[in-house]
Structure 1
Amino acid sequence: MYRLINFFKRNRITSLVIILLIVAYFFCLPRQLFKDPTATVITSRSNELLGALIAEDGQWRFPATHTVPEKFKICILQFEDEYFYKHPGFNPVSIFKALKSNLSSGDVKRGGSTLTQQVIRLSRKGQSRTYFEKLKELILATRLEFRLSKDDILNLYASYAPFGGNVVGIDAASWRYFNRSASHLSWAESATLAVLPNAPSLIYPGKNQQQLLDKRNRLLKKLHENDIIDKLTYELSIAESLPQKPYPLPQIAPHLLQKIAKTNKGERFKTSLKIDLQEQANTIVEQHHNVLKQNEIHNLSVLVLDVKTREVLTYIGNSPTGKTHQNSVDIIDKPRSTGSILKPFLYAAMLDAGDILPNTLVADVPTQFGSYQPENYNQSYDGAVHANEALSRSLNVPVVRMLQEFGLDRFYHYLKQLQLKDLKYNANHYGLSLVLGGAESNLWDLCKSYAAMASTLNHFNANSSQYFTNEFTQPIFNAKQSVDFGKLIKEKAVFDAASIFLTFESMKQVNRPESDESWEYYDSSQEIAWKTGTSFGFRDAWAIGTTADYVVGVWVGNADGEGRPGLVGVQTAAPILFDIFDVLPKSDWFATPYDEMFEVSICKKSGYRASSVCDDTEMKYIQISGKKTGPCPFHKLVHLDASERYQVNSSCESMANITNKPWFVLPPLQAYYFKNKNPFYTPLPPFRMDCLESSGVTMEFIYPNQQSTIYLPKGFDGKTNELILKVAHSKPELEVYWYIDEHYIGNTKDIHDMAVMPSPGEHTITVIDALGNELKHRITVSE
């Protein structure tokens, strides 16, 4: 050390030069060797390639690999640099042989570069291959050896070596030339790729095939001679043919690729997708698209979520249609009219609030709210229908009446808690049509909401009847992420577990497509809570279903919004949904959340809590919030004579001869429609002629509705048809007297229909029964 210090003191200039050279050597190598843009690459959760977008410079250059496949590693070392793991970045023997050969020939015949030097040369693009540049590469190569391990240097070479055309790197080359990942290449395929970077502009698949074949086979022979491969493997390898042209890269999830490229451009992104499920779903979508396009229906999308992890398992943003039909549009996150797909949320909200019980009877009669008049899809009415049946049959009128009774603002508040991002206006903007498709949403948000409901139920049963605070979180498609459900608390996030369970029980009863009509009779079938939706004008068809493990969502339609006859949820979207469920593992049904329920006596006919006069009851588990619901309003105790054919009272019969009997009685308008579809419905018997009636009498207009505008059609003979006025009366045997604008026009009995020919303009229709009860309606007649 003393001598070294003395040397520096005596030779200050030499010492300074040495120090400067050391510093220059230390900083001569750029921190980042390669700044080339790379392709955006997405893989499945098991690392299979799903798709890639070419780099900005037009090169198929995948992000740098972290491992080099063993076969390619052996081939490239045997072909390019046998002493790679022994030299310090350059090989003096190779350099001497190359120099001797080049000097004797007067031309550059041999390079003598190591793989480390080639990495440096690849990073220093466009540099001439002179001896001076070679010297620079040698110095930089030794510096690289100090910075990186041998394996890291080899990874850089494999990632940035040219393989002909616009293909760079082993990963891109293996897919472009052999349509598989580099780890699955054979010895012949690995040898082919190993010899390509040696002269990529002259020899690559499709160009100078014989030269490429000769180089590959020489390398294979060397592998055999060095006992790396046996004779049989060698013979089979040289018999393999060469690739003739590049393959297109897989496009298994192209719309998810585009979505990821917006935020992770040029990166390798591992998704949560299951490649086998994605490919099966792609096949199903293609099959259905081929059928649907015959009816000019060109677009559809599918989303599959794992309920328990909230991971995206399948992502199909659009059908395999063409540019004319906007195949590049990812419809999964685009707002579309919801149709009836929001109805389960209303049903769950009303259960959660305790406004209804699962089977509560709701009215299904012609209804008008101002200028808004909802209609059922089949344009018929049941009079009264159980709430769960109204949901399972997707009846519009009962649901709108339920929404009106529940309150538009209350329901809107529930929807906002679901975080449906396309609900951009206030509740009054949508009105009562909110539940029938007056609003827009997207497949992503809707599937997220159904998955959150299913997950709420799962977690409640698995965590001592507790709820997670962050249950309604966003799904994820990044395999490196996991969902944070928050902390466990006693309070629900949106809906309580019992309301969700009872909603799913109702959705389970939805009539399946024709091919699955008798699903409950097959052991292989699984229970699925599902719902369809069809928007106004047949522009959007939806089907979303959930089990305890999976949510499947399907949208079908045209991206440009064109409606088509037959574009109905149950006909177009539902078959796809059940085909997807058929390839998913079978799930068990949800466990009953008994801690959020209690058992109570229910009136079978009305679905309300049984009153003291309900004659047909059953014990049912209902949600705890249902405690506040009232007793059955449709059963009353009637007094009959001995024959039970007439109602009587103390004015005409002694108390000893009066029979008291419970009777199920609907309001007149509901009864009018109900008895047409329920032949066993028995109206109240009339009072005996000698009795004084003391009970209330009611009547309601069947047609027209209040404040209606009536258009009188003309027949084939050109004459204007009459307007048929209809009234339902609780005692149809009474006479009813009809007036238009205070002018008497006639009377009816038993069947209260009256044909009139009013003049255009506003009119007041008045009906008065024999007991003096009066009913008025205002209408407008238009020509």
Structure 2
Amino acid sequence: MKLINYIKRNKIKSAIVAILLVAYYFCLPKQLFKDPTATVITSNSNELLGALIADDGQWRFPASDSIPDKFKTCILQFEDEYFYKHPGFNPISIFKALKGNLSSGSVKRGGSTITQQVIRLSRKGQSRTYFEKFKELILATRLEFRLSKAEILNLYASYAPFGGNVVGIDAASWRYFNRNASDLSWAESATLAVLPNAPSLIYPGKNQKRLLDKRNRLLKKLFENGTIDELTYKLSIEEGLPQKPYPLPQIAPHLLQKVAKKYKGERIKTTVKISLQEQANSIVKQHYNLLKQNEIYNISVLVLDVNTREVLAYVGNAPTDKAHQKSVDIIDKPRSTGSILKPFLYASMLDAGDLLPNMLVADVPTQFGSYQPENFNKSYDGAVFANEALSRSLNVPAVRMLQDFGLDRFYHYLKQLQLKDLKYNANHYGLSLVLGGAESNLWDLCKSYAAMASTLNHFNDNSSQYFTNEFVQPTYISKEPANFGKLQNEKDVFDAASIFLTFESMKQVNRPEGDDSWEYYDSSQDVAWKTGTSFGFRDAWAIGTTKNYVVGVWVGNADGEGRPGLVGVQTAAPILFDVFDVLPKSEWFTTPYDEMLEVNICKKSGYRASSICDETELRYIQKSGNKRAPCPFHKLVHLDNSGQFQVNSSCEAITNIENIPWFILPPLQAYYFKNKNPFYKPLPPYRNDCAEASGISMEFIYPNQQSTIFLPKDFDGNTNDLILKVAHSKPELELYWYIDSQFVGSTKDIHDMAVMPASGDHIITVMDELGNELKHKITISE
């Protein structure tokens, strides 16, 4: 009541007081410092990985949450011993400073507290007059009401000048001592503590004695007040001073650029493990020094944690030069995929039930319109197990499998993997999609391999259930955990069995030279991995996964220049396994039995065994694979007692006929298969007195599905013959060859015919002695 009565009696005074209080409350800006700050990234354990200088050219790190104890002690002892006792200004210090300055006739002493210095730093450019000092005092008291002492001290440490373009204790400790502020010695902390008072002392080669004297006086004070002992003091004063600024660490420069696009001017704690990052950098540098001799200048490496989807190492490029795009981060750049998508086709077909893990697939000369895929080694196996075709990265079986599976179906699976560089429809890529006709990037590919591994892990760890968001984006920001979604019974993209069987096949890939005896070393581990090489030797890939880690490697030239020897297994794979060697060893994936069936498999064909398959074994396949038809390559063959001839009821008593299961490939597949499989047995001939059964077949080996042929010329300019080849199920029969109804010759056993047709269209006709006929139209072009 008394206060109210007083206000009523003294309205003008009260109004003035109210106005002054409001002015006092609002006199301090909400944000003291608006200076641009450097973008800073640290490792998952807070070690500095790199920094980008602030826009105003200052090395000014974002304000820190804490100050190292040594520096805090030094700065308080040097600048403001009564910091924790005054309300923002120290009357005794002000009086002493005023008295000294008046007696000398000039400003010799400041008398400002740390709080006042924070205000002065925030009001940069203001003249140092007594009136300005008064305003600083008022603002300092207001600051004391707003912030705690610790927060004020942090602001001072973050924005105090340390000479040149260095601002703040964090930047200063790295620029002058090349280490974290928390790792500084007493002498180093004392050196930095005296610099804000006279930042010009730090210039290399100048004022060294003045700086040394100031530092040593502070160290002596610390010794005298018992902060440091005598031995520490004596050792500290023997330490030298910094001579020139160090460059800031650039351990993950391309990740820094990536972070700066979204978090410019912030301090970001990443998921990167600094020891692994440094090891990866070293590995890349070693291989770069070798590869650049072949004019291969760019390398990128990405390491992911499968279980958390965190980025553990990020090497965006090799330590090359500006002329070879040193600053380009290739991890997220689209490049031709080569064969790196083949495992996805294999997994897709397994998942859909169109393939069994080691089912025979055709590997013969193939042409689809004008597109004619070839294996890397230019040879053919005739027929090869699907898992072997994947582990050997055979191109022809992959394209034939894609044709059988359906281009649109496979494209749908790839879109589910969220490969962002698949920007066109399936027909744009055609069947070359699985051999490098599309583009992708290391980030998306590693994410997809990690998602497959994680799907398998989660299925086994969560009562055979799947997460709804397995293909979540990896994260390089600490404390941003991956959101895998909710558990459900339905798969996300691939079922666990298909993934496991795909990884089992990838585990068998032959390792690069020097690591080919890996299984004999205790330190080795199983890795599901795949290489890829783009057309023209422009891109080399290697991506591998264990239960816990995914490592991806790309090697090439950023400008797309191809180089001889730029092959995945020769250039990227050695880097891949060097990185895996420095990672913790992982156990192999657990078999997902709940998604698998144990069935009888034909050993020779890899299909589900039919009733006449002579060699079978129990093997686990994915559940969807149970819909595959039984083995089509085993047939009952009727032989006489000698087992050397086929017979039938027309020439032999039924009681003397033996019914033998026989493994029979189509003629074209058999033609190539028998060259690499000496134990393959062709069908025995019919005995002479028997009427031969139907079922004879023949196929063109060359030309095969080809319409236009260019006849080569030799060194003398003479046109070479066209060699026609046919595979016959009974090669001992004589074949008769015709071109445009004109007989040109006959063959027996080996059915190769050399001809010299004129330019233009022709019909080739082949007839065996039993009357079976084969026709093919070709065009000869010069």
Structure-1-length-normalised TM-score:
0.99
- Counterpart for residue 158 of structure 1: 157
CA contact (8 A) 1:206 1:243 kept: no
Deviations 1:614-659 (Å, cap 9, x if unpaired)? Answer: 1111110111001101111111110111111111111111112211
Cα separation, 1, equivalents of 2:274 and 2:741:
75
For residues 429-444 of structure 1, what are the structure 2 equivalents within 5 Å?
Answer: 429-444=428-443
**What SS does structure 1 have at the residue aligned with 2:480?**
coil
**What SS does structure 1 have at the residue aligned with 2:196?**
helix
Deviations 1:357-388 (Å, cap 9, x if unpaired)? Answer: 11100010000001000000000000000000
- Counterpart for residue 428 of structure 1: 427
Tell me the amino acid that sits aligned with residue 60 of structure 2.
Answer: R
- Counterpart for residue 20 of structure 2: 21
1:418 aligns with 2:417: yes
Cα separation, 2, equivalents of 1:495 and 1:6:
81
- Counterpart for residue 604 of structure 2: 605
Cα separation, 2, equivalents of 1:8 and 1:696:
118
State the Cα distance separating 1:716 from its structure 2 match. 2.7
- Counterpart for residue 238 of structure 2: 239
**What SS does structure 1 have at the residue aligned with 2:199?**
coil
- Counterpart for residue 568 of structure 2: 569
Tell me the amino acid that sits aligned with residue 378 of structure 2.
Answer: Q
State the Cα distance separating 1:480 from its structure 2 match. 1.6
Ranges in structure 2 where 5+ consecutive residues have no aligned partner: none
Tell me the amino acid that sits aligned with residue 520 of structure 2.
Answer: Y
**What SS does structure 2 have at the residue aligned with 1:201?**
helix
For residues 167-186 of structure 1, what are the structure 2 equivalents within 5 Å?
Answer: 167-186=166-185
State the Cα distance separating 1:205 from its structure 2 match. 4.7
CA contact (8 A) 1:386 1:607 kept: yes
Cα separation, 1, equivalents of 2:4 and 2:309:
68
Tell me the amino acid that sits aligned with residue 324 of structure 2.
Answer: H
Deviations 1:93-132 (Å, cap 9, x if unpaired)? Answer: 1111111111111110000000000000000010100111
Cα separation, 2, equivalents of 1:595 and 1:94:
79
State the Cα distance separating 1:199 from its structure 2 match. 1.1
Tell me the amino acid that sits aligned with residue 220 of structure 1.
Answer: L
State the Cα distance separating 1:779 from its structure 2 match. 1.5
CA contact (8 A) 1:285 1:576 kept: yes
Cα separation, 2, equivalents of 1:780 and 1:247:
72
Tell me the amino acid that sits aligned with residue 678 of structure 1.
Answer: N
State the Cα distance separating 1:85 from its structure 2 match. 0.4
Deviations 1:76-106 (Å, cap 9, x if unpaired)? Answer: 0000000000011111111111111111111
**What SS does structure 1 have at the residue aligned with 2:195?**
helix
For residues 445-456 of structure 1, what are the structure 2 equivalents within 5 Å?
Answer: 445-456=444-455
State the Cα distance separating 1:764 from its structure 2 match. 1.4
1:72 aligns with 2:71: yes
Cα separation, 1, equivalents of 2:711 and 2:22:
99
Cα separation, 1, equivalents of 2:145 and 2:423:
59
For residues 293-304 of structure 1, what are the structure 2 equivalents within 5 Å?
Answer: 293-304=292-303
- Counterpart for residue 7 of structure 2: 8
Deviations 1:360-417 (Å, cap 9, x if unpaired)? Answer: 0001000000100000000000000000000000000011101100111111111011
Structure-2-length-normalised TM-score:
0.99
Deviations 1:32-71 (Å, cap 9, x if unpaired)? Answer: 1100000000011111100000000000000001101100
CA contact (8 A) 1:163 1:204 kept: no
- Counterpart for residue 281 of structure 1: 280
Cα separation, 1, equivalents of 2:107 and 2:373:
86
- Counterpart for residue 125 of structure 1: 124
State the Cα distance separating 1:719 from its structure 2 match. 1.7
Cα separation, 2, equivalents of 1:498 and 1:151:
57
For residues 129-140 of structure 1, what are the structure 2 equivalents within 5 Å?
Answer: 129-140=128-139
CA contact (8 A) 1:177 1:205 kept: no
State the Cα distance separating 1:201 from its structure 2 match. 3.0
- Counterpart for residue 256 of structure 2: 257
Tell me the amino acid that sits aligned with residue 483 of structure 2.
Answer: D
Tell me the amino acid that sits aligned with residue 416 of structure 2.
Answer: Q
Ranges in structure 1 where 5+ consecutive residues have no aligned partner: none
- Counterpart for residue 46 of structure 1: 45
CA contact (8 A) 1:204 1:212 kept: no
State the Cα distance separating 1:202 from its structure 2 match. 4.4
Cα separation, 2, equivalents of 1:695 and 1:573:
53
Give identity over the alignment, percent. Answer: 83
- Counterpart for residue 531 of structure 1: 530
- Counterpart for residue 215 of structure 2: 216
Deviations 1:212-268 (Å, cap 9, x if unpaired)? Answer: 111111110111111110010001000001110100001011111101111110000
- Counterpart for residue 472 of structure 1: 471
For residues 86-125 of structure 1, what are the structure 2 equivalents within 5 Å?
Answer: 86-125=85-124
- Counterpart for residue 727 of structure 2: 728
State the Cα distance separating 1:301 from its structure 2 match. 0.4
For residues 642-661 of structure 1, what are the structure 2 equivalents within 5 Å?
Answer: 642-661=641-660
Cα separation, 1, equivalents of 2:592 and 2:777:
50
CA contact (8 A) 1:543 1:570 kept: yes
For residues 770-781 of structure 1, what are the structure 2 equivalents within 5 Å?
Answer: 770-781=769-780
Cα separation, 2, equivalents of 1:270 and 1:236:
35
- Counterpart for residue 226 of structure 1: 225
- Counterpart for residue 751 of structure 1: 750
CA contact (8 A) 1:281 1:580 kept: yes
Cα separation, 2, equivalents of 1:206 and 1:695:
100
Cα separation, 2, equivalents of 1:651 and 1:251:
86
State the Cα distance separating 1:516 from its structure 2 match. 1.1
CA contact (8 A) 1:603 1:618 kept: yes
State the Cα distance separating 1:696 from its structure 2 match. 0.7
**What SS does structure 2 have at the residue aligned with 1:505?**
helix
CA contact (8 A) 1:205 1:242 kept: no
**What SS does structure 2 have at the residue aligned with 1:32?**
coil
Cα separation, 2, equivalents of 1:669 and 1:138:
96
- Counterpart for residue 187 of structure 1: 186
- Counterpart for residue 340 of structure 2: 341
Deviations 1:642-688 (Å, cap 9, x if unpaired)? Answer: 11111111111111221111111111110110010011111000111
For residues 347-496 of structure 1, what are the structure 2 equivalents within 5 Å?
Answer: 347-496=346-495
State the Cα distance separating 1:514 from its structure 2 match. 1.2
State the Cα distance separating 1:356 from its structure 2 match. 1.2
Root-mean-square deviation (Å) = 0.9
Tell me the amino acid that sits aligned with residue 458 of structure 1.
Answer: N
Cα separation, 1, equivalents of 2:116 and 2:164:
23
State the Cα distance separating 1:282 from its structure 2 match. 0.4
Cα separation, 1, equivalents of 2:4 and 2:564:
95
Cα separation, 1, equivalents of 2:355 and 2:155:
67
Deviations 1:124-182 (Å, cap 9, x if unpaired)? Answer: 01010011111111111111111111111000000000000000000000010001010
CA contact (8 A) 2:201 2:210 kept: no
Deviations 1:582-634 (Å, cap 9, x if unpaired)? Answer: 00000000000000111111110100011111111111011100110111111
State the Cα distance separating 1:743 from its structure 2 match. 1.2
Deviations 1:506-532 (Å, cap 9, x if unpaired)? Answer: 000000001111111211110000000
State the Cα distance separating 1:6 from its structure 2 match. 4.0
CA contact (8 A) 1:170 1:182 kept: yes
State the Cα distance separating 1:717 from its structure 2 match. 3.0
State the Cα distance separating 1:354 from its structure 2 match. 0.7
- Counterpart for residue 766 of structure 1: 765
Cα separation, 2, equivalents of 1:603 and 1:464:
32
Cα separation, 2, equivalents of 1:598 and 1:657:
41
State the Cα distance separating 1:15 from its structure 2 match. 2.2
Deviations 1:407-431 (Å, cap 9, x if unpaired)? Answer: 1111111101101111111111111
State the Cα distance separating 1:322 from its structure 2 match. 0.6
